[in-house]
Amino acid sequence: MRENNSFDWDKFKNKYFDIENNKNILNLNPGTMGSPSLPVINAIHQSCKDNKNPLNIYKKGRANLQRIREEANILWPHPNHELAIGGSTTSWCNKLSESFLRLWEGASKNNPVKILTSHHEHKGALLNFENHPFYQVIKISDQILFNSELFENFIKNNIPNIFLLSQKTWDQNLKLPINSCFKIIKKLYPDAITILDSAQSIGIEKIIFTNSDIVVCSGHKWLFGPQGSGFMWINKETIKRLPRFHYGEPIDPINKASYFEESGGQSFITYAGLLEALLILKEVGHENVFSKSLKLAKTFFVLLEKSILKNIFQISMNDSVILLDWKNPIRNLPYEYYQELHNSNIHSKFIKISKKSSTIYRLRFGLPYYESEERLNYAVERMVAAMVELLKK
């Protein structure tokens, strides 16, 4: 679909996202859990009904899985990678943590597998490594991460087995220097495995495959697919090294990444919903999704800056994400305000960042491309009203 001024976004959003029947509900939190589209929900419901023929459940599930792979190849061309379809980023990282321990068989408390990463990574991707005694997680400061010379010196002193970075961070939608960091890692330590977390990127922008051995992402965020769905791309050379997740019968044996997917009975309804999410993205196009989300974010930013909320928050914008940082938080007001917005059906992400000298209380808003300026006006009105009521207490 080409971007043009005549495209009827109102008709699109009502057809695919049922805005008309949910006028006062705004999920401005797709970076955590986006609202699935109607085709996704309907496909899941239909799959739940089609349960009278057990063999057909497997047959349809396999067909949807194969179709998803075909559509993903079109949306995200990846000639040097194989695609595994299944769970969320957290799920992939949990399984990878077990696979890596078989790859580095000599790992122990005294000889841990070393993972280098940033201070911005989500705990869902890291906790299984941080809590395991056979892993050592080292976080690199932004000052080093964004300086190639400092970064190269740092990794020479902390030789990594694994290097994990997010394409965009969950805490502030920050673009990390993926290309330069991964290139340096591969130049100095070609056997180190580079992992790209694209959970906050898939569905709204292109994925960075260059020098990425593994790419993990979730389908229930900006892709607006089923909850708990996602993808893992594995470089073809890395597949030869990486111990498989299971030795059972794969559902799609033709695919080389099938041994990293679920085996046997599973949630086949997820595939039906995920396929619909890909078809919608294919219809709209990455460029239109990003440009429309960016346009809405600019509108939202201006509306907030014109309101009394500018006296309470430091308001900033990173692409399609708006950040509201409390200037002078008192009592438990930041979380109370977040809950009040939630109760008013204005949904955001509450983030608490503790530092040595201070604590940042942040609300993160992501602007879905199917929203409208009219609804954003309503959101800001509700946000102002909620703040006024809380300040009276």
Last residue of a domain, one of 283, 303, 324: 283
Laid out side by side, the sheet with 313-318 consists of 313-318, 321-326, 359-366, 349-354
Residues 55 and 70 in one domain: yes
d(CA 32, CA 12): 23
Last residue of a domain, one of 283, 318, 335: 283
The pLDDT, as a whole number, for residue 5 is 54
Residues 224 and 101 in one domain: yes
The pLDDT, as a whole number, for residue 7 is 64
Tally of domains within the chain:
2
DSSP state of 310: G
Dihedral in degrees, nearest 10, Cα atoms 363, 366, 372, 376: 10
Residues 165 and 187 in one domain: yes
The pLDDT, as a whole number, for residue 224 is 95
Residues 388 and 262 in one domain: no
Domain, as residue range, for 103: 41-283
Residues of the chain with pLDDT under 70: 1-7
Tokens of 361: 């209380």
In order, the DSSP letters of 57-76 are HHHHHHHHHHHHHHHHHHHS
User: Alpha helix (H) ranges present in the chain?
Assistant: 9-17, 30-33, 38-49, 54-75, 89-103, 123-130, 142-145, 148-157, 178-188, 236-241, 268-284, 286-305, 333-343, 373-392
Residues 294 and 229 in one domain: no
Strands (E), 320-377: 321-326, 346-347, 349-354, 359-366
CATH number at 167 reads: 3.40.640.10
Q: What is the pTM of this model?
A: 0.93
Strands (E), 119-256: 135-140, 162-166, 193-197, 214-218, 230-235
Tokens of 104: 């580095």
d(CA 197, CA 184): 18
